[in-house]
Amino acid sequence: MKLAKMFMATSALTLAGNVATAEDMANELTLVSWGGAYQASQVKAYVEPYLKMHPEVKVTWDESSAEAVAKLRAMNEAGNVTWDLVDAVASDSMRLCDEGLAEELNHDEDLAAAPDGTSASDDFGDLLVSDCFVPQIVYSTTFGYRKDLVGETKPDSVCAIFDLDTWPGKRALQKRPIDNVEWALYCDGVAKDEIYDVLGEDGGMERALAKLDTIKDQVVWWTAGAETPQLLADGEVVFGSTFNGRLFSAIAEQNQPIEMLWDMQSFDLDGWVVPAGLPADRKARVMDFLKFATDTQRLADQAAYISYGPARKSSAPLVGKHAELGIDMAPHMPTDPANSGNVHVYDYEWWADNRDDLNAKFEAWLAK
C-alpha cells in the first residue's frame, strides 16, 4: 500500500521533473567567498535583495575562497560537494575547469542579458576567460606608497620600485612570480606586448630574476592581501603591492598617508564558479541566484561598497557613490580612464602552462 503510493509519487515527480519550478529548487544555498569587506559587498549587493524576493531561501557562507581549488578537489574525491557557488579568481576558475571540478556554463542562456538587450557574452566580452567562469569584478594588483616617505619627487612609474637611488627604503611584493617578473622585465626595458615572449625564451626568467636581484634585500614578501596596508601604515615599507580595494580602504576609510601608483597595474578578474555534479534541485537554485546576482544592476550596486570595477560593460555607467562615505566611486576604480592609462593584462593561458616551472625557479631564487 505504502510502497505503491511512494512509487506513484516518484513517477509523478519524474514526469514533472523537466519543468523547473520554484518547488524543485533547494532552499539552502552555500556560498563561498573571501570574507572581509569583499564578502560584505556581495551580501549587500546580491544576497540581501535576493533573499527579499525569496524569503524561503537560507544562505550559508564559507570563507574559503583562498583554498577553493584544493578544497573542491578534496570534496569531489570524497564524493560529497557541500558548496553551491564558489567565488574564485580567474586563474583558479581555469584550473577548476581543467580538472573537471566546475560546471561548464552557457553564458548567453544562463545569464541575464544587458538592459538594452546585448547578450551576456557580448556584455562581459573578453572577460569570459573560461567556460566555467562568470566574472563579477575587475580588480588590480597595484602599488601604493607612503606620501611622507618618498621625498620630493613623487613616483609616477612602476619602475620606481626598482629605483633604489631616488626612492630608498623597503618594498612589499607578493611572494609569487606572477606580476613581479612581468614588472621586472618591463622595467628592464622589455616592451609591454613582448613580456611573455621574452619570459618564455631560454634565459627570460633568469633576466627577470636578475632585475629583481637588484632590490632583493629591500623586499618584504607578503602572502595575504592585508599585509601590505599594514606594512605601509607602520612605515615598514615605502612601496607595497596589493589589491587595489585594500589600498582604497586604507586611504579613504582609514585616512592613512598612502597614495595610489596605478602605473602598470595588473588587471585580474574574480567571479563565480558552479561546482560540477550538483544535484538537480540545488543546481536549479544556484542558477537562479547566479542569473540574478550577475545582472547589470547588481554588479553596479556592488561598486557602492568596494572599489572594484564591475565586469559588465553595461554596469559601468550605473556606478555611483560609496554607500557610507558618499564619495564618487568611479575615480577609485581600476578601470577608470585616469587610472588605466598604462595597464598590464596578465596572460592566464601562459601562466596556466608555466606556473609550476617558473614557481620552482622563483622559489629556488628566493631561497638563495
Binding positions for other proteins, rule: CB under 8 A: 66-67, 69-70, 73, 95, 97-100, 104, 170, 175, 206, 220-221, 223, 234-236, 349, 352-357, 359-361, 363-367
Which residues have a Cβ under 8 Å from the Cβ of 37 and sit 6 or more positions away? 245, 249, 305, 306
- Complex with other proteins: residue 110 or 336, whichever CB lies closer: 110
40/26 Cα distance (integer angstroms): 24
65/38 Cα distance (integer angstroms): 11
- Complex with other proteins: residue 230 or 302, whichever CB lies closer: 230
- Complex with other proteins: residue 50 or 350, whichever CB lies closer: 350
Nearest Cα residue to 63 out of 291, 244, 224, 186: 224
Instruction: Tell the smallest beta-carbon distance from residue 364 to other proteins (Å).
Output: 5
Q: Residues 180, 266: contact at Cβ < 8 Å?
A: no
Instruction: Tell the smallest beta-carbon distance from residue 349 to other proteins (Å).
Output: 6
Beta strand spans in the chain (E): 28-32, 58-62, 85-89, 133-146, 171-174, 219-222, 239-243, 258-273, 309-310, 343-345
Instruction: Tell the smallest beta-carbon distance from residue 70 to other proteins (Å).
Output: 4
- Complex with other proteins: residue 65 or 296, whichever CB lies closer: 65
Instruction: Tell the smallest beta-carbon distance from residue 223 to other proteins (Å).
Output: 6
Instruction: Tell the smallest beta-carbon distance from residue 275 to other proteins (Å).
Output: 14
Instruction: Tell the smallest beta-carbon distance from residue 220 to other proteins (Å).
Output: 6
- Complex with other proteins: residue 17 or 277, whichever CB lies closer: 277
- Complex with other proteins: residue 218 or 297, whichever CB lies closer: 218
- Complex with other proteins: residue 325 or 364, whichever CB lies closer: 364
- Grid cell locating 98: 581543467
Instruction: Tell the smallest beta-carbon distance from residue 169 to other proteins (Å).
Output: 10
155/218 Cα distance (integer angstroms): 17
The backbone torsions φ and ψ at residue 254, rounded to the nearest 5 degrees and listed phi first, read: -115, 5
Q: Residues 48, 306: contact at Cβ < 8 Å?
A: no
What burial letters (b/e) apply to 108-130, b meaning 16+ CB within 10 Å?
eeebbbbeeebebeebbeebbbb
The backbone torsions φ and ψ at residue 12, rounded to the nearest 5 degrees and listed phi first, read: -60, -40
